[in-house]
A and B are shown apart, each in its own frame.
Chain A
Amino acid sequence: MPDWIDTVIRSFIFLAALFFMTKILGKKQISELSFFEYISGITIGSIAGEAITGLENSIIQGLLSIAIFILITLLVDYLALKSKTVRNLVDGRGTVLIKDGKVLEENLKKEKYTIDELSALLRQKDIYRVADVEFAVLEPRGTLSALLKKEHRPITPKDLQLKVPNEKEPQTIIMDGQVVDEALRSAGKSRGWLHTELAKLDLTLDNVFIGQVDSYGELSVDIYDDKMQVPSPAQRPLLLATLKKTQADLEIFSLETQDEVSKAMYKKNAKLMQETIDKLTPYLTS
């Protein structure tokens, strides 16, 4: 058997073996969060490489050592799940580099990081002033996580004391002109509903590239023909406008009428409408 056929066979075998074994280890291996996974990732790769090209080695030996590495990683993962001590030992703990806005020089020295390297890591997080940082940890993987001081953090609706509606994730119910039934079910809609909505937009299913339904049950679509204009859903803003209009009407009626009883009735209802509008506004604008 010529050597190159051997290499081809080995490549296929190890590719399959690596694929399935990494599948067993799961996503944790891919993210290489701890240095144990980092080491095993590198080593498994080099064993496979060595076994594929080093034709004098036996395939069995290569597979065996990969299997051992995978098994040990699995075992350590399992132990780490059970015990905090193992976790600290294997995964390592983060090192606090900045606390209360002050750089902890001792910890920096312990991790053998220079000031330049620390500021480079901070810059990767778009932080240019060490003074802006309240707290920063060097993760076991070598990345830096930083918490900015409150006044330097991006503003959120909570800071502004705004009430924002809770939104569910949009469901992609049409892909490439095909209905995705599973997503349709999680959106709580039926095919009949979808056909009605598409008919409202004057479209057929095979015109649509992507169709998504949001948490208000509104369908937005992207169609193949980019020159065609599709109206975006405007039901809720329109509803808000109508609400405001009727509220104003009621106010006007209350001013115009001479009859005291109806004046009171209009006033009361205008107030009710205003309260309703205030409550609904966050849900009808976004």
Chain B
Amino acid sequence: MTIASSVKQCLANMKGIEAQLSSLYLNSLDPEAKGLFHESMLTISSVKKDLQNRVLELERHEPQYKS
């Protein structure tokens, strides 16, 4: 597996985590838990953005792995 594809896989996992956190945020009743889920979701989405940029860079460097 190339680096580009493993980073992409990690990015996909990130997206999944973000979606699950947002569903937990919507479904939880306890305000404290709600706040924490929301905060974590924002952190994850910033990490996700960084990864996305990295994927674009990798694709520029190694066009042969572009999918």
Contacts and interface: CB of A to CB of B under 8 A. Distances in A.
Q: Is B one of A's binding partners? A: yes
Interface of A: 165-168, 187-188, 215-218, 235-236, 239, 242-243, 245-246, 249-250, 253, 256-257, 262, 265, 269, 272-273, 275-276, 279-280, 283
A242 B33 contact: no
Interface residues of B, number: 31
Contact of A165 (B17, B32, B46, B47): B32
Contact of B17 (A216, A243, A265): A243
A235 B20 contact: yes
Interface of A is mostly: helix
Contacts of A215: 28-30, 33
Given A272-B43, A276-B40, A167 B13 contact: no
Contacts of B33: 165-166, 215-216, 283
A149 to B, nearest CB: 33
Contact of B44 (A167, A262, A265, A276): A276
Nearest to A262: B54
18 contacts: A217-B27, A217-B28, A236-B24, A242-B20, A246-B14, A246-B17, A249-B9, A249-B13, A253-B6, A273-B44, A275-B43, A276-B40, A276-B43, A279-B36, A279-B40, A280-B40, A283-B33, A283-B36
A273 B47 contact: yes
A242 B13 contact: yes
Contacts of A273: 43-44, 47
Interface in B2-22: 3, 6-7, 9-10, 13-14, 16-17, 20-21
Contacts of A253: 3, 6-7, 10
